[in-house]
Amino acid sequence: MKLNKKLLMLVALLLIIVLLPIFITVPYIISIFITTFLTISCSLAWNILGGMTGQISLGHAAFMALGAYITTMLLNYFNISPWLSIIIVFFIVGSLGAVILSPCFVLHGAYFSLVTIAFGEAFRNLFLNWELAGKGQGLLLTYGKPSFALMRFGSKAPYFYISLVMMAGYYLVIKRIDHSKLGYGLKTIREDEDTAKAVGINPLKYKMIATFISSGMIAVCGVFYACYVRYVNPDIMMTSKSVEYVLPAIIGGLGSVAGPLIGGAILVPLSEYLNASLSSIANGFNLVVYSAIIIAVIVLQPSGITGWYRHSKLKTRINTYFSKGKTNNAK
Amino acid sequence: MNTIGQAIVNGIMIGGIYAMVGMSLNLIFGVMKIVNFCQGEILMISMYMSYVLNEKVGLDPFLSIPLVAIMMFCVGALLQMFLITRSMREEDDSNVLFLTCCLSIFFANLALLIFKSDYRTAKSVFENKVVHLGTMNISSPKLLSFVILMVVTALIFLMLKYTTLGKQIRAASQNPRGAEVTGIKAKSIYAITYGLGAAIAGIAGSCLMSFYYVFPTVGNIYGTRSFIVVTLGGLGSVLGAFFGGIVLGLLETLGAVVVGSSFKDALVFFIFILILIGKAEFNQKKQRG
């Protein structure tokens, strides 16, 4: 009966989340949920390349921003619906990511991170000076009446559901990848590339596939971002933005599928809370406290929350709770 | 011809500062093999130190160099002892990477909290004084900074080569475990190395303060550039960082003349990527054949 009990709790949790916008009418709280879902989606996408494959990219914000820019430009200049640009963006940015990062896979560890930072900064500098992309001011999405086809809504509730579906979809996709041939191949590459080669895995091919999926998925997050915020500028390509998507995965546990989910669910509300309560006192105060908390977690608990959970008493307690029904049933 | 000559001179001068920040990073990078993403912020802290000394005590940025260097040594050594050593692991360096990333956010916002986001400058005696070299003009703070850079490079080079401490640092960098066997305490060497790196950044920050302004995110500009310098010059090489810095400075100013100043940053990053990948490919080929 183990599965049923767990499934029941999951369904209940999901139902509560789905019904939330009906009970909570404060737009601010809904917007926190949307930001949380979006950040978790980005972090999940990053985790395919960063966590699963072990290629720590610090330029993923550029891929997200590319998705947002492409969506905005397609809508503003050609009147193409964002729903359509989801597919366009996924393939274009995914292929772009795989192509431009493929020569970088000869680099290992920190050097790979450096090259991704350089790519992110190079893209940001290009967009800062590109006339069609609005230069430093960025681009506004055209305003108008709410319309489903243009992903333009009057209230926050539809955005809430779209981001929720996106996050759940990403989670399921990555869960699937985690236990597939691709996932095992990627994890082998992370642990030891020579071994991977010896068992017949082509590291370059696998890394390119991982980059394609990862950058394509984070670019789709960019589509949602553009439609939700309705304003894109080169600031969203900053390296610090990339770090924002990396942090949930680190705090939650690098490489585990649930890591970004748990990390994001803790970090984003925490950052919003600190922002609301401290930034009015002095500029920057909230981020000082926020980064100090993260530093403490990294120093004291390097394997993240899922790593801690794996060795904690809480796990045994939960497991015994769930296995009670199972053992009774077996009798 | 004159613009190009002036660009070359300016490039060498600004390259001097890049070289100094790069050298500070290279010492840390080369010895401990850790990626230190908060080196730009270390520079920012030292700039603010120099600024405060100038504002409250009236000390010239150039005269504050020894004081700032000593204070930065303490900051660096403490940082290494209490935070970075604890998250260093032999098999995986990603934790240090994230730690220093978060430290850079922490420091930048601490500066924002204390000093606000205003651009601040320090007053120097050498300000507005220009040295004429043929048809080229060089502002004297930049020239003096360049002289200081050469002195620092020479000192660090000699220190690493001939002193006991220098030999210990090199030993710990080549083989930490082997060094431990011979009685060198690798952890204290690490703390000293980080302190030295921070002190060099302190010297660079004080020099920079004499002709540049400071703001909380100034570290971003110099942090990424210092990585370029390190990659250009080679890991762990002091002289490499010296020439790497000057090459980067030249690339920037000459790039500005060729492609226009708005695209020069993008150009620098693309060249950096090409060099990084080219070097890696070259090393791989060398390993194979």
Candidates B269, B270, B284, B288: best to mutate against A (most CBs of A within 10 A) is B269
Q: Name chain B contacts of A110, Cβ cutoff 8 Å.
A: 35, 93, 97
Radius of gyration of chain A (CA): 21
- The DSSP letter of residue B137 is E
The CA distance from B59 to the nearest CA of chain A, in Å, is: 29
The residue-averaged pLDDT of A292-306 equals 85
Burial of A187 (0-12, 13-18, 19+ CB in 10 A): middle
Which residue of chain A is at minimal alpha-carbon distance from B235?
A111
Integer Cα distance of A206 and A1 in angstroms: 38
Candidates A115, A116, A191, A242: best to mutate against B (most CBs of B within 10 A) is A115
**pLDDT over 70 for what percent of chain A?**
96
A99 in reach of chain B (CB within 8 A): no
The whole-number pLDDT of residue A136 equals 79
The CA distance from B232 to the nearest CA of chain A, in Å, is: 12
Q: What is the mean pLDDT of chain A?
A: 86
Q: Which of residues 24-63 of B touch A (CB under 8 A)?
A: 35
Residues 6 or more apart whose Cβ sits within 8 Å of residue B280: A106, A107, A111
Q: Which of residues 301-330 of A touch B (CB under 8 A)?
A: 302
Spacing of C-alpha A168 from chain mean position:
12
Residue A97 has pLDDT above 90, yes or no: yes
Integer Cα distance of B4 and A277 in angstroms: 53
The residue-averaged pLDDT of A167-173 equals 92
Question: How would residue A299 be classed by pLDDT, with cut points 50, 70 and 90?
Answer: confident
B181 in reach of chain A (CB within 8 A): no
Could you tell me how many CB contacts below 8 A there are between chain A and chain B? 120
- A173-208 confidence digits (pLDDT tens): 999 998 899 999 999 988 888 888 888 888 899 999
Q: B130 near B139, Cβ under 8 Å?
A: yes
pTM of the model: 0.87
Which residue of chain A is at minimal alpha-carbon distance from B271?
A118
Highest mean predicted confidence (pLDDT) among A76-80, B198-202, B265-269: B198-202
First to last CA, chain B: 45
Q: Name chain A contacts of B216, Cβ cutoff 8 Å.
A: 284
The whole-number pLDDT of residue B277 equals 84
B87 in reach of chain A (CB within 8 A): yes
The residue-averaged pLDDT of A135-143 equals 83
- φ/ψ region of A312 (left if φ > 0, alpha if ψ in -120 to 50, else beta) reads beta
- The single residue listed with the structure tokens 């090199």 is B170
Candidates A57, A114, A127: best to mutate against B (most CBs of B within 10 A) is A114
The residue-averaged pLDDT of A113-128 equals 88
A223 in reach of chain B (CB within 8 A): no
**pLDDT over 90 for what percent of chain B?**
22
A289 in reach of chain B (CB within 8 A): no
Q: Name chain A contacts of B262, Cβ cutoff 8 Å.
A: 128-129
The whole-number pLDDT of residue A241 equals 84
A282 in reach of chain B (CB within 8 A): yes
- B211-252 confidence digits (pLDDT tens): 888 998 888 888 888 888 888 887 778 888 889 899 899 888
B175 in reach of chain A (CB within 8 A): no
A125: tokens are 């500098």
A37: tokens are 């879902």
The CA distance from A118 to the nearest CA of chain B, in Å, is: 5
Q: What is the mean pLDDT of chain B?
A: 86
Q: B230 near B26, Cβ under 8 Å?
A: yes
Q: Which of B116, B276, B284 sits opposite A114 (nearest CB)?
A: B276
Integer Cα distance of B3 and A325 in angstroms: 82
Which residue of chain B is at minimal alpha-carbon distance from A190?
B92
Residue A329 has pLDDT above 70, yes or no: no
Q: A178 near A52, Cβ under 8 Å?
A: yes
The whole-number pLDDT of residue A3 equals 61
Q: B248 near B240, Cβ under 8 Å?
A: no
A111 in reach of chain B (CB within 8 A): yes
Question: How would residue B66 be classed by pLDDT, with cut points 50, 70 and 90?
Answer: very high
The whole-number pLDDT of residue A250 equals 86
Question: How would residue A2 be classed by pLDDT, with cut points 50, 70 and 90?
Answer: low
Q: B79 near B199, Cβ under 8 Å?
A: no
Q: Which residue has the higher pLDDT, B106 or B283?
A: B106
Integer Cα distance of B183 and A105 in angstroms: 39
The residue-averaged pLDDT of B39-49 equals 93
- Are A291 and B109 in contact (CB < 8 Å)? yes
Residue A92 has pLDDT above 70, yes or no: yes
The whole-number pLDDT of residue A324 equals 62
Residue A326 has pLDDT above 70, yes or no: no
Residue B285 has pLDDT above 70, yes or no: yes
